[in-house]
């Protein structure tokens, strides 16, 4: 594979994976306008975000078996077409309940890109290269939060929030063309994969029995849900508490998204020296410390707009380290059923994201405390699960007289 081919593949996979981040972030500056136009509260509009995250969670479970049975591209095309139709329906909705429903359907279609992108990384690249590939993929994904809210803010200000969903449909249509023209087929269809409920559930259960997958899917999935609490609460915090404009909010969101871009690039080089396991351990510890500072400072009213942004920047830097390493370690043990494993991983992450965004909405108090408290809970829970899970796996390994932990946990460290 030439460098040019590698770049094109990563770019297309990243574009597929950015469909959902764009769908989540681009309409955030329009929350106040949507609330006004649809005669709804901010909390009700926030539920449209929760509906999207729940839709991603449900949809990924459907696409896992489909991607294994029919190959990567045909289910992907079907999902993207559903997404385009639902996006146009969102643009012309006249009630908040209809918006919530269409956002769910939009997510069910769009999540095909997320599952297919992760499965194709595992198909195309060798296991010792997947962490670096996921780092580059995360870099492409991380650019979208810089662009999406900023573009969304200008689009909303100039044309109204309806135009955001029309643009999303148009972008997805262009991505479909790129998939058709330049993306490799990946794993061939496997007719032995059954789509009947019992075999599908059995297949998922076989994935869940893999200890390494379970460890990093749970710990990583909960820890990486923290940004969803930030996404759900940030527009209310900055626009209603600190009274920034739609355009200024877009730039703040873009600046904080840069935290993930920088750490993703750093992760690319760190992996030449350290294992993914070590990177995750360190990241969760420092995120927990920063999260405690956020909660305590918010409770006592220590932070102004800029100090809050600074601490959020430090916290979100960890996501560029957590996400690719947790993904790579979760999927590393699989050569078969990769689509199902990717679907379970993505589904759990989005389910956690949906729960965290819903929690911010439910506990809305008009302060920063609900947002930062939920973020802190994600970091602390992720760290505890990681430490307890690794101890449990090692205990079981010793009972089975396994001499080396590396026979239990498949490493993603680069080979020189």
Q: Taking residues 39-66, report their average pLDDT.
A: 82
Question: What's residue 416's pLDDT?
Answer: 39
- Please report whether residue 200 resides in a domain: no
- Does residue 198 belong to any structural domain of this protein? no
pLDDT tens for 366-385 read: 777 888 888 888 889 888 88
Residue 67 lies in a domain: yes
* Residue 157 belongs to domain spanning: 3-183+209-407
Percentage, residues of the chain above pLDDT 90: 12
Give buried/exposed letters for 157-188 (b at 16+ CB in 10 A, else e): beeebbebbbbbbebbeebbeebeeebeebbe
Residue labelled with tokens 């998204």: 257
Tell me the pLDDT band of 1, cut-offs 50, 70 and 90.
low
pLDDT of residue 90 exceeding 90, the answer is yes
Distance CA 256, CA 261 (A): 9
- 191 lies in some domain: no
Does residue 126 have a pLDDT over 80? no
Residue 153 lies in a domain: yes
**What average pLDDT does range 211-237 have in this prediction?**
81
- The answer to whether residue 13 sits within a structural domain is yes
The domain total for the chain is 1
Q: Model-level pTM?
A: 0.66
What integer is the mean pLDDT of 180-189? Answer: 77
Supply the pLDDT for residue 103: 94
DSSP string, 209-222: T-HHHHHHHHHHHH
Would the pLDDT of 25 be above 50?
A: yes
pLDDT exceeding 70 applies to what percent of the chain? Answer: 86
Structure tokens at 289: 């410390």
pLDDT of res. 50: 81
CATH of the domain at 158: 1.20.1250.20
Q: Which two tokens stand for residue 62?
A: 């459907």
- Mean pLDDT value of segment 206-225: 82
* Domain presence at residue 110: yes
Is the predicted pLDDT of residue 172 greater than 80, yes or no? yes
The neighbour count for residue 396, using CB atoms within 10 Å, is: 12
Contact status, residue 127 vs residue 332, Cβ threshold 8 Å? yes
As a whole number of Å, the CA-based R_g of the chain is: 20
Higher pLDDT, 87 or 387: 87
Is pLDDT of 102 > 90? yes
Q: Is the pLDDT of residue 327 over 60?
A: yes
Is 223 a domain residue?
Answer: yes
DSSP type of residue 39? T
Residue 46 near residue 24, CB atoms below 8 Å: no
Within a 10 A sphere around the Cβ of 230, how many other Cβ atoms? 23
Q: What is the pLDDT of residue 18?
A: 83
């Amino acid at each position: 594979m030439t460098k040019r081919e590698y770049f094109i593949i990563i770019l297309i996979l990243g574009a597929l994976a950015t469909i959902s981040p764009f769908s989540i972030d681009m309409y955030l500056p329009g929350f106040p306008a949507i609330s006004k136009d649809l005669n709804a509260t901010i909390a009700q509009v926030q539920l449209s975000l929760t509906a999207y995250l729940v839709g991603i969670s449900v949809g990924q479970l459907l696409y896992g078996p489909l991607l294994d049975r029919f190959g990567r591209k045909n289910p992907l095309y079907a999902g993207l077409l559903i997404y385009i139709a639902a996006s146009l329906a969102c643009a012309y909705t006249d009630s908040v309940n209809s918006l919530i429903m269409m956002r769910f359907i939009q997510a069910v279609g769009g999540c095909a890109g997320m599952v297919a992108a992760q499965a194709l990384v595992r198909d195309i690249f060798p296991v010792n290269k997947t962490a670096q590939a996921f780092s580059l993929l995360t870099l492409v994904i991380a650019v979208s939060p810089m662009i999406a809210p900023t573009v969304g803010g200008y689009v909303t200000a100039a044309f109204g929030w309806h135009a955001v969903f029309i643009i999303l449909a148009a972008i997805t249509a262009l991505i479909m063309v790129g998939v058709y023209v330049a993306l490799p087929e990946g794993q061939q269809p496997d007719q032995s994969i059954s789509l009947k409920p019992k075999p599908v559930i059995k297949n998922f259960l076989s994935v869940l029995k893999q200890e390494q997958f379970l460890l990093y899917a749970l710990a990583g999935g909960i820890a990486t849900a923290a940004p969803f609490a930030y996404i759900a609460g940030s527009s209310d915090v900055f626009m209603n508490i600190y009274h920034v404009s739609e355009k200024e909010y877009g730039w703040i969101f873009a600046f904080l998204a840069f935290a993930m871009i920088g750490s993703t690039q750093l992760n690319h080089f760190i992996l030449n020296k350290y294992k993914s396991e070590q990177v995750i351990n360190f990241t969760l510890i420092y995120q927990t410390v920063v999260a405690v500072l956020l909660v305590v400072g918010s409770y006592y009213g220590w932070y102004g707009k800029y100090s809050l942004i600074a601490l959020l920047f430090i916290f979100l830097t960890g996501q560029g380290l957590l996400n690719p390493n947790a993904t790579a370690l979760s999927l590393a043990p699989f050569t078969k059923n990769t689509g199902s494993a990717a679907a379970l991983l993505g589904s759990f992450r989005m389910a956690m994201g949906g729960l965290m965004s819903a929690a911010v909405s439910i506990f809305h108090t008009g302060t920063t405390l609900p947002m930062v408290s939920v973020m802190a809970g994600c970091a602390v829970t992720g760290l505890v699960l990681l430490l307890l899970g690794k101890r449990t796996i090692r205990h079981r390994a010793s009972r089975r007289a396994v001499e080396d932990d590396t026979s239990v946990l498949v490493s993603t460290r680069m080979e020189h």
